[in-house]
Amino acid sequence: MNRQKKLQQLFKAKAKKASAKLAPKNKNTYISKADRLKLAAEAAQEPSAPAES
């Protein structure tokens, strides 16, 4: 019984991993607060530069 239970656990774990790989990836990558502030500062500076020229 123990051997069968262990085998079933292995099969379930492999099936779970396989289905997880096929699932769509909806989660966005994490951007730190400091990086977000840098990006916002760069975006704020870009529009003013072409307006001066």
- pLDDT, tens digit, for every residue of 5-14? 999 999 999 9
Q: Is residue 41 part of a domain?
A: yes
pLDDT at 17: 95
Domain that holds residue 37: 3-45
In single-letter form, the type of residue at position 45 comes to Q
Other CB atoms within 10 Å distance of the CB of residue 2:
6
Q: Is residue 51 part of a domain?
A: no
Q: Is residue 52 part of a domain?
A: no
Q: Is residue 31 part of a domain?
A: yes
Overall number of domains in the chain: 1
pTM for the structure as a whole: 0.44
Q: Is residue 53 part of a domain?
A: no
Burial class of residue 26 (count of CB atoms within 10 Å of its CB; 0-12, 13-18, 19+):
exposed
Q: Is residue 30 part of a domain?
A: yes
pLDDT digits (tens, 9 = 90+) for 19-47: 999 888 888 889 999 999 999 999 988 76
Q: What are phi and psi of 29, to 5 degrees?
A: -75, 150
Instruction: State which H helix or E strand residue 41 sits in.
Output: helix 33-52
Q: How far is Cα 1 from Cα 7, in angstroms, rounded to an integer?
A: 10
